[in-house]
Structure 1
Amino acid sequence: MRGEDDESRKVVIRTEADIAEALAALTAADERLVRIAETAGPVPLRRVRSGLKGLLAIVVAQQVSKASADAIFGRLDAAVDLADPHAILAAGETTLRAAGLSRPKQQTVEAVAAAIAQGRLDLARLETTDAPEAIAELVAVRGIGPWTAECWLLFCTGHPDVFPAGDLALQVAVAHALDHESRPTTKRLGAIAEAWRPHRSVAARLFWAYYAVIHRRDVVPAQEAARAATPLQQNAKADRKPSRSGQNSPKPLS
């Protein structure tokens, strides 16, 4: 498995052409995806800034609208040098909360900054590390769960083979697209996604695009639609894990 992941890291999703190439490989390997791709239409790249600022952007965007996330991140970026973990720690709770961060998000931002400042977390190294190892190191930080770690790899580093199976929108989309009677669990969806290696990151983008279409068509029940937002704006159950303090970590997608 390590060898397969190392091989996948030789390819990085950087452009729309990379998306098109991977999508062609996916539809050739799994004919079910042809119809899904036709329904979904264009599959967005959704690449965002890498490194610390990218990770913090994902944290900020959890559970809020894109407009709110952009406003909060803008205020935060104006008040603090988000590329400098020491500056974040020096800013203190008052500054971080004034930017609009909830207390759990403020604590997560500080935990990430402390981990980097103390040498326990090296994001530059993780950008080229195999996914399981990178995820394990990220989730060791208080407030960072599997969904956040997976989305950082997928959107910030361009990792080609990551599938956030705990994402509610992906669960809803796959269930609808593949005619499942019920929404698959995280474990079940992870098993289903194995068929889309080594292009699972594009498969995830495809199903998010598909979800957006069926949501607009009111195919998704209102209750499910309210719970499943778009990438970088949803509270994924997979990230609700106990923290070292015994409290639940703030979660994050699709």
Structure 2
Amino acid sequence: MRLSVHELSIALPADYRSQDVLAFHGRDAQQLAEQVTPGRVRKGVLLHGVPLVLDVALAPGVARCRIEADEALDDIALAAAREALLNILALRIDPAPFALFTHGDPLLGPFVTRQPNLRIVQSATVFEALTWAIIGQQINLAFAISLRRTFIEQAGRRHSSGLWCYPEAVDAARLDLEALTTRKFSRAKAETVLRLARLVADGELVLDRSHGPDEVASALLAVKGIGPWTVNYTLLRGYGFPDCSLHGDVAVRAAFQHLLGEDSKPDMARTETLLERYKPHRAMAAAYLWASLNQNGGN
């Protein structure tokens, strides 16, 4: 098979934190769909039915990217691949306005000063972010990653390089429930993932950036099994919207507990109020709250 290869360079800020990007994409030690080596990420993803690998070499000031597709890409698929590169390189949200906004803030200000230029790394596609949010909710990270591998193996396809490609909705929609429930998925998770995939595959739910966050949230909340936390996580990790309230996130609540020096986590209502002070930058606030608990940073 002859690869269809497209090369491009994407400028990176001088203060770009490449290690954060490598850490996010390297969470799966088995490297089923992502291969991370020093200064380089190779990520497999299905786009418009074509298995491709996004190969990104990080250097000072520039990301040298190769789109290695198993079939020729039309202009729409090529544009989608370029959008995916912006996502995985964390280039959707500029961290500078948040740093300015939190100057003098007693809670996050000192941490932002110590850890400047933190960026929000995204999943390659909205569908990946949304399914990951469903798969990973309310279980520990190691188990969530193992379920993610199962989902990729059941619904995805291998690239000619051998790397697995994260599936699209149409691929997941073909699965039977038992393909997941017999492999440690709870019935509720499996039903929600497949319900979502079928809605997207049938065109009843559109996952693109043509609508604003309120419209997206309303459409996602109408899907049985998807709640506010999943929606807000997707707005952040999938769409890259800058103002998403992760008040239902346990780690966000734990970070507030630590920063406030309190004996217990604030409840969701109080956490929502605490996050209000960071509007319209609540996505960056969540990223810094996660990072305050984990110096390697993020969920």
TM-score bracket, shorter-length normalisation: 0.5 to 0.7
Deviations 1:152-203 (A, max 9, x none): 1101111111121111221221233134565333222222222212211001
- Asked if residue 48 in structure 1 is aligned to residue 123 in structure 2, the reply is yes
More off after superposition, 157-166 vs 29-38: 29-38
Q: Match of 2:162?
A: none
Q: Is the 8 A contact 2:220 2:226 kept in 1?
A: yes
Q: Is the 8 A contact 2:232 2:244 kept in 1?
A: yes
Amino acid of the structure 2 residue aligned with 1:94:
E
Count residues with an aligned counterpart. 203
Tell me the distance in 2 between the aligned counterparts of 1:16 and 1:110. 30
Amino acid of the structure 1 residue aligned with 2:281:
H
Higher relative CO (Cα under 8 Å, sequence separation at least 6) belongs to: 1
Q: Match of 1:252?
A: none
Offset at residue 40 of structure 1 (A): 6.4
Task: Choose from 139, 144, 148 the match for 2:230.
Answer: 148
Q: Is the 8 A contact 1:196 1:203 kept in 2?
A: yes
- Asked if residue 85 in structure 1 is aligned to residue 152 in structure 2, the reply is no
Offset at residue 27 of structure 1 (A): 2.1
CA RMSD of aligned residues (A): 3.0
- Asked if residue 132 in structure 1 is aligned to residue 207 in structure 2, the reply is no
Q: Match of 1:183?
A: 265
Tell me the distance in 2 between the aligned counterparts of 1:177 and 1:65. 23
- Gap regions ≥5 residues in structure 2: 1-85, 157-165
Q: Match of 1:9?
A: none
Q: Map 1:25-174; keep pairs closer than 5 Å.
A: 25-28=100-103, 30-37=105-112, 43=118, 45-81=120-156, 83-124=167-208, 127-174=209-256
Output the TM-score relative to the length of structure 2: 0.58
Output the TM-score relative to the length of structure 1: 0.67
Q: Is the 8 A contact 1:138 1:149 kept in 2?
A: yes
Offset at residue 17 of structure 1 (A): 9.4
Tell me the distance in 2 between the aligned counterparts of 1:48 and 1:167. 18
Secondary structure at the residue paired with 2:111? Answer: helix
Max Rg structure: 2
Query: Whose strand proportion is higher, 1 or 2?
Result: 2
Secondary structure at the residue paired with 1:143? Answer: coil
Amino acid of the structure 2 residue aligned with 1:123:
L
More off after superposition, 94-103 vs 131-140: 94-103
Q: Is the 8 A contact 2:96 2:117 kept in 1?
A: no
Query: Whose helix proportion is higher, 1 or 2?
Result: 1
Secondary structure at the residue paired with 1:129? Answer: coil
Secondary structure at the residue paired with 1:91? Answer: coil
Tell me the distance in 1 between the aligned counterparts of 2:244 and 2:138. 22
Offset at residue 210 of structure 1 (A): 1.3
